[in-house]
Amino acid sequence: MGVFARYGFRKTSMDEVARAAGVSRQGLYLQFANKEELFREALVHTLNSQLHAGMAALWRTDESLEARLTAACEAWSGRFVGSLGADAADLMCASTSLAGETLSHYEARFEQALTHAIAHSGLAAFCASEGLRPADLARTLHATARGLKQRSATREEFVTGVKVAARMFCTPLRQHDEPVQRHDK
């Protein structure tokens, strides 16, 4: 995926991938029929890795929900932020056209993991009191992370944005039944 991230789908050659993998071009073709198959398999491997890293972050019991949500979104969405080459703009189109169902499947699994973490936290009571579902918060946080991924120039910028989003989501956990002060006239 590093070669695809650097050159984009169209400009990546099997020779470049073979060099990066330390195999011959012929050896690569013994494993994959064409560049499209190689890309799909690399994408599945990457998505699986990112999903497991995100889930591991959510399962940590020694960190706050805010820290776990931040780490999970960074693991899932932030891996390639700031490292894409100038020619990599076609990767999202290639991902959607070559592996759209697979991509949707992994995105749904990530949202399910976020939903589970939120549902088993103090935010569950907040959701119930506000007529929300944990899945609503999970979907919104995931959409926020995707948007930050698209507009962040660096991974640091992405992480800063995700931290802000996670803090906003977790604000109800820090409000200890303090009365809300209104400044209405």
Predicted local distance difference test score (pLDDT) of residue 88:
61
Question: Of the candidates 106, 114, 116, which has an alpha carbon nearest to the alpha carbon of residue 49?
Answer: 106
Output the CA–CA distances (angstroms, integers) from residue 178 to 20, 65, 164, 173, 175, in the order listed.
57, 20, 22, 11, 6
Its domain, for residue 108, covers 2-174
Q: Is residue 182 part of a domain?
A: no
Tell me: the pLDDT tens digits for 101-155?
888 899 999 999 999 999 999 999 999 999 999 999 999 999 999 999 888 989 9
1 vs 19: CA distance, rounded Å: 13
Q: How many domains is the chain built from?
A: 1
Q: Is residue 154 part of a domain?
A: yes
Roughly how many angstroms between the first and final C-alpha of the chain, as a whole number?
57
Q: Is residue 64 part of a domain?
A: yes
Predicted local distance difference test score (pLDDT) of residue 79:
81
Q: Is residue 180 part of a domain?
A: no
Q: Is residue 133 part of a domain?
A: yes
185 vs 34: CA distance, rounded Å: 68
pTM of the model: 0.84
Predicted local distance difference test score (pLDDT) of residue 85:
63
Predicted local distance difference test score (pLDDT) of residue 86:
61
Q: Is residue 185 part of a domain?
A: no
Q: Is residue 179 part of a domain?
A: no
Q: Is residue 83 part of a domain?
A: yes
Which residues of the chain are under the pLDDT cut of 70? 84-94, 175-185
CATH of the domain at 34: 1.10.357.10
Q: Are 70 and 159 in contact (CB under 8 A)?
A: yes
13-23 per-residue burial string, b: 16 or more CB within 10 A, e: under 16: ebeebbeeeee
